[in-house]
Structure 1
Amino acid sequence: MNVCFPDTQDDTPRIPIELNRVGVTGVKKLLRIERINKRPIILLPTFDAFVDLPNDQKGIHMSRSPEAISEVMEDVTKNSALEVETICAEIVNKMMQKHEYAKRVEVHMTSDYMHIRESPATKNKTQEVSKLKAKAIGYREDGQIKIQKMIGAEVIGMTVCPCAQESVKEADKSKLLEFLDEQTTEKVLNTVTFASHNQRGIGTLLIEVPENEVIKAEDIMSIVEKAMSSPVYELLKRPDENAVVMNAHEKPVFVEDCVRNMMEGILENFYHLPDDTVITAKQINEESIHRHNAYAEKNTTMKELKEELNIKSDD
């Protein structure tokens, strides 16, 4: 006997209010990405998927969102050369078909990304983890589905406070002048590395991927990491620890500097991208001498970024 269950999602809500984002979070899948002449990358990504909901509909058909993710991921196993941002775009397209009432669909993907690197002094190989991020937003326009794709990364590094370092330097200068002349004191100040307080920095950078363009996540990770005072490492011997600390204190940066450094890295690596390419960067520095954290963010386009720095776009 077949039972016809009621579809209460299509009922009229008691309170007719439109909702911006309704969906599912924390959907985990296994993903294998093939690479030419390299070992494949195995990821365990987590997906969040949302649609907007009109004011005359009680609820979305919730099961259709993880269903769309599953169907796309099944297709990916047959074509594992797809970039992660394209996978998100395919999910958006599938959700648009299943949620015909939705004007806007948004899909986020985050996954741990393992990579091998060498420690700075002993050159020991160590496994490091960053966060690979991808995003796709789809919307209906004139009967067509338009989809924006973004690729990005979240990287942990180390920052050194410039303000505290200058304070320490001035305090030490006063002490040195008690028994050294001005010229010798300056030589000492220019030779030694001065202490400061440190932060664990968490940098995030997302950039839109235009059609027919390929942006490597590894390049974005490199930009974020270089924006801070120093990389951090899972495995460090004493010579490595010394190298990390010394190198970091030679490059003190504020949280604001980190975001500006990311913007500079974007221009150096992706200057050729279209003017309307969207860029989002943020930095969180987890303070060591304060109970609060420091935060900075920048949302811009390639055109706006070039205009701010008085850089002429190519014709």
Structure 2
Amino acid sequence: MTISEIKGESLQDVQALPDTRGIALDEVGVEGLRYPLLISDARGNKRETVATVAMSVSLADHVKGAHLSRFVDVLHTWRDRLSSQAVTLMADDLRQRMGCATARVALTFPYFLERLAPVTGIASFMDYTCTLTAAASDRGDEVVLAVKVPVTSVCPCSKAISDRGAHNQRGWVTIDARPHTPATGLWFDHLIDIAEAAGSSPVYALLKRPDERHVTMAGYDNPVFVEDMIRTVAGALNHDVRIAEYRIRVVNDESIHNHAAYAQIPWTLTATSRDSTDG
């Protein structure tokens, strides 16, 4: 095989052939791709992770197919400098290289933060499932940050009716937030802090006996329903000037019932967004 053949200069480009059916496609791409990445934390430090990736572009009605190899090529180019702003540039790079109207990138990955035990101060890493989604088009760029955060929740009803103790369980707080612009500075760390503050207690990877005693009693002193947690999260998000829109879902994996309890709020404009719209 010659060098020109290796470069594809003498090979037929089937994807670029015309299509005569006149049907445009909103999304064509790849999904389920696992790839190592370096992603920034709120302080700008780079953290290693492995993401499950979905990338897509729109396809004009006269184009037969998308060049799938270019998706991975773009991902590899941007893999070591991902942030809220960089991922929108990555989506726009994909859009330009594919010659399409819109491009979308979604990265789901474990995001690790160092947490200190509440009494002993011993450090350990907690992992949170996060998704960073960006879309680029002629109309502009958009980014969405999503976190799924474990918390402990103690049941207020159980505490109120019991002579001793109260049942508690693992809860999950999922937040999707759309910043006003990618440059607002909103990041996963901020959403994780809001979610953890809404539960009876945060969850830790490492606790010594004094820490476990503290966490158990702190949770007992702060019982919450899923309704309490979601309202607390909504209150914090609603007045965050960096956020344009949000949605929330809270689920308790009930420990004494054969079901889960949940509450959710659909996509909702923040107070700052409503004020700007009214003005």
TM-score of the superposed pair, with normalisation by structure 2:
0.79
Determine whether 1:263 maps to 2:263: no
Structure 2: 5+ residue stretches without partners? none
Partners of 2:200 and 2:34 in 1: CA distance: 35
Displacement of 1:57 in angstroms is 4.8
* Alignment-mate amino acid for residue 222 of structure 2: K
Partners of 2:188 and 2:169 in 1: CA distance: 25
Q: Is the 8 A contact 1:273 1:302 kept in 2?
A: no
Question: Comparing 278-287 with 2-11, which one deviates more in the overlay?
Answer: 2-11
RMSD across aligned positions (CA): 3.3
Relative to structure 1, the CA distance from residue 273 to residue 313 in structure 2 (aligned partners, 3 Å threshold; closer, same or farther) is: farther
Q: Is the 8 A contact 1:285 1:295 kept in 2?
A: yes
Question: Comparing 297-306 with 198-207, which one deviates more in the overlay?
Answer: 297-306
Partners of 1:119 and 1:297 in 2: CA distance: 30
| Corresponding residue number in structure 2 for 1:246 | 217
Which of residues 249, 263, 269 in structure 2 aligns to 1:301? 269
Determine whether 1:228 maps to 2:235: no
Partners of 2:261 and 2:23 in 1: CA distance: 36
| Corresponding residue number in structure 1 for 2:87 | 88
* Alignment-mate amino acid for residue 262 of structure 2: Y
Q: Report the 3-state secondary structure (helix = DSSP H, G, I; strand = E; otherwise coil) of the residue aligned with 1:129.
A: strand
| Corresponding residue number in structure 2 for 1:153 | 147
Q: Is the 8 A contact 1:135 1:149 kept in 2?
A: yes
* Alignment-mate amino acid for residue 30 of structure 2: V
Q: Which has the higher strand share?
A: 2
| Corresponding residue number in structure 2 for 1:164 | 158
Partners of 2:15 and 2:277 in 1: CA distance: 53
Structure 1: 5+ residue stretches without partners? 77-82, 173-193
| Corresponding residue number in structure 2 for 1:196 | 166
Alignment: residue pair count? 268
* Alignment-mate amino acid for residue 204 of structure 1: T
Which of residues 10, 14, 39 in structure 2 aligns to 1:7? 14
Q: Is the 8 A contact 2:230 2:249 kept in 1?
A: yes
User: How far does the alpha carbon of each residue in 1:150-173 deviate from its partner, in whole angstroms, 9 at most, with x for none?
Assistant: 33433211112233333x33xx4x
Partners of 2:261 and 2:127 in 1: CA distance: 23
| Corresponding residue number in structure 2 for 1:205 | 175
* Alignment-mate amino acid for residue 109 of structure 1: L
TM-score of the superposed pair, with normalisation by structure 1:
0.71
Alignment of 1:1-315 (within 5 A): 2=5, 3-8=10-15, 10=17, 12=19, 19-25=25-31, 26-31=33-38, 33=40, 40-46=45-51, 47-54=53-60, 57-73=63-79, 76=81, 84-101=83-100, 103-141=101-139, 146-166=140-160, 168-169=161-162, 172=163, 194-211=164-181, 212-267=183-238, 270=240, 272-273=241-242, 277-298=244-265, 299-303=267-271
Larger Rg: 1
Q: Report the 3-state secondary structure (helix = DSSP H, G, I; strand = E; otherwise coil) of the residue aligned with 2:177.
A: strand
Relative to structure 1, the CA distance from residue 159 to residue 34 in structure 2 (aligned partners, 3 Å threshold; closer, same or farther) is: closer
Q: Is the 8 A contact 2:92 2:137 kept in 1?
A: no
Partners of 1:292 and 1:13 in 2: CA distance: 52
Partners of 1:105 and 1:57 in 2: CA distance: 16
